[in-house]
Structure 1
Amino acid sequence: MRRILIADDHAIVRRGLKEIILEAFPSAEITEVADAEDLINKVVKEVWDIVLSDLSMPGRSGLEALQQIKIHAPKLPVLILSVYPEDQYAIRVLKAGASGYLNKDMAPEELVNAIHKVLSGRKYITPSIAEKLATNIDLNTQGPAHARLSDREFEVLKLLAAGKSISDIASSLFLSSTTVSTYRARILAKMNLKTNADLTQYSLENNLI
Structure 2
Amino acid sequence: MKILIVDDHMIIRRGLVQILDEFDGQYQSEQAADGVEAMQKLRKGSFDAVLLDVALGERDGFDVLKSVRSEFPKLGVVMLSVYPEAQFALRAIRSGANAYLNKGCSPQELTQALQMACAGQVYLTPATANLMANDLRKPADRPPHERLSNREMQVLRLMAQGETVQHIAQALCLSGNTVSTYRARVFEKLELKNLVDLVNYTKLHGL
**What TM-score results when the alignment is normalised by the length of structure 1?**
0.93
Aligned to 2:80: 81
* Letter matched to residue 182 of structure 2: Y
The 2-side partners of 1:132 and 1:28 are apart by 31
Q: Distance in 1 between matches of 2:138 and 2:81?
A: 21
Q: Does 1:199 align with 2:195?
A: no
Give the letter for the 1:204 counterpart. Answer: K
The corresponding residue for 1:15 is 14
Distance 1:140 1:18, change over 3 A: farther
- In structure 1, what is the Cα distance between the partners aligned to 2:45 and 2:136? 34
Structure 1, 108-117 or 12-21: larger mean CA deviation: 108-117
Stretches (4+) displaced over 6 A = none
Displacement of 1:90 in angstroms is 0.2
The offset of 1:45, in angstroms, is 3.6
Which position in structure 2 is the counterpart of 1:118?
117
- Map Cα deviations across residues 53-98 of structure 1 (whole Å, 9 max, x no partner): 1110121111110011001011101000000010000000000000
Structure 1 residue 47, shift from structure 2 partner: 2.3
- Cα distance change of structure 1 residues 140 and 22 upon mapping to structure 2, 3 Å threshold: farther
Partner of 2:46: 47
**Per the alignment, in what secondary structure is the counterpart of residue 24 of structure 1?**
coil
1:137 offset after TM fit, Å? Answer: 4.0
Distance 2:2 2:177 in 1: 41
Provide Cα deviations, 1:161-180, integer angstroms capped at 9, x if missing partner.
12111111112112121111
Stretch moving more, 135-144 or 124-133: 135-144
CA distance in 2, matches of 1:15, 1:199: 36
Separation in 1, partners of 2:152, 2:138: 15
Q: Deviations over 1:88-140 (max 9, x none)?
A: 00000000000001101112222122222222332110122112112214896
Equivalent-residue separation in structure 2 for 1:15 and 1:140 (angstroms): 42
* Corresponding residue for residue 32 of structure 2: 33
Are the equivalent residues in 1 in contact too, given 2:5–2:13 (CA < 8 A)?
yes
The amino acid that maps onto 1:113 is Q
Query: Which one-letter code corresponds to 1:15 in the other structure?
Result: R
| Cα displacement (A) at 1:16 | 0.8
Extract unaligned runs of 5+ from structure 1: none
Output the CA distance in 2 between the equivalents of 1:130 and 1:94.
11
Contact 1:136 1:142 (8 Å CA) reproduced: no
Matched residue, 2:142: 143
1:158 alignment counterpart: 157
CA distance in 1, matches of 2:101, 2:143: 22
Question: Against the structure 1 CA distance between its residues 4 and 11, is the aligned structure 2 distance closer, same or farther, given a 3 Å change threshold?
Answer: same
Aligned to 1:104: 103
Question: What is the CA RMSD across the aligned residues, in angstroms?
Answer: 1.7
- Do residues 93 (structure 1) and 92 (structure 2) align? yes
d(CA) in 2 for partners of 1:138 and 1:7? 34
Aligned to 1:133: 132
